[in-house]
Amino acid sequence: MMAPGLATASSLEAVSASIRAGVTTLELDALAEAAITERGGSSNFKLEPGYRHTICSSVNEDVVHGVPGDRVLQPGDIISVDSGAVIDGWNGDAARTFVVPDPTRPELVAERQKLSDVTEQSLWRGIARLATARHLNEVGEAIEDHIEPYGYGILTDYVGHGIGRSMHEAPPVFNYRVRSKGPEVKPGLVVAIEPMVVLGSPETFVREDGWTVATEDGLAAAHWEHSVAVHKDGIWVLTAADGGAAGLAPFGVTPVALG
């Protein structure tokens, strides 16, 4: 699964380099598509019935599953980009959030950047917990423990998932505490951990396009995701070029390469 993971990471790097006011979400979609194709992959999002794009692009109050189109990014926008690749029947899935610079509204930019940063850090805390967890639902505890002091909302209707031959597989990966322990963490487990965090209420609705999930209160959202493999020698973040070394270093966790 390393090849589709790296192709997914490459697509998000291509998007990251082009985030600016004036670019359309459909242009970002094309950049991600080209990056995946260059690595010998194809979009697994396009395998979802009725979906025709390589990425999901969710802007401002849109949390996840936003559909790329002619929307032009504006200064101060916060945009979450979710991407995935399939190579030789194996899947990768990851997401990042970006804030478009706006020197005229520094407070807005700072508020949204903090939301993104806290969400990203909750992801890495969840991954770090996976490295030592006995049961999968410890990941959600670590994520919620980090988010809770900030007063942000965590979506409960949408969670992470297993990943392998299909992009979405069992088991579910919760981003919050649940009563059950969940499955045992052991070699062979591969999961997509993806906290979806909002400035206000976690209540959402689906827009008329049938895909885009938006906050009911209209407040901004952030979404970060990585696909992570558990193997006999440790963990490896499949959708990070360094296997997650930089993100895990603050937690004293060193990822171990597969093979």
CATH number for the domain that contains residue 45:
3.90.230.10
Residue 104 lies in a domain: yes
Parts of the chain with a pLDDT under 50: none
Residue 238 lies in a domain: yes
Write out the two tokens for 97.
Answer: 């959030």
Look at phi and psi of residue 208 and say left if phi exceeds 0, alpha if psi is from -120 to 50, else beta.
alpha
Write out the two tokens for 15.
Answer: 């998007």
pLDDT recorded at residue 259: 75
Residue 191 lies in a domain: yes
Residue 258 lies in a domain: no
Residue 129 lies in a domain: yes
Sheet with 234-237, strands from edge to edge, namely 169-173, 160-162, 190-193, 226-231, 234-237
198, burial (CB in 10 Å: exposed 0-12, middle 13-18, buried 19+): buried
pLDDT recorded at residue 17: 97
Q: How far lies 93's CA from each of 74, 101, 179, in Å?
A: 26, 26, 27
Domain span including residue 29? 2-251
Q: Which of 227, 221, 240, 86 is nearest to 161 (CA)?
A: 227
Residue 174 lies in a domain: yes
pLDDT recorded at residue 20: 98
CB within 8 Å of 257: residues ≥ 6 apart: 236, 243
d(CA 119, CA 40) in angstroms, rounded, equals 31
Question: 3-class SS at 4?
Answer: helix
Question: 3-class SS at 170?
Answer: strand
DSSP letters of 184-236? BP-TT-EEEE--EEESS---EEE-TTSS-EEETT---EEE-BEEEEEETTEEE
Q: Are 163 and 227 in contact (CB under 8 A)?
A: yes
Residue 256 lies in a domain: no
- Average pLDDT value over all residues in the chain: 97
Q: Are 6 and 35 in contact (CB under 8 A)?
A: no
Our count of domains for the chain comes to 1
Q: Are 118 and 147 in contact (CB under 8 A)?
A: yes
pLDDT recorded at residue 258: 86
Residue 257 lies in a domain: no
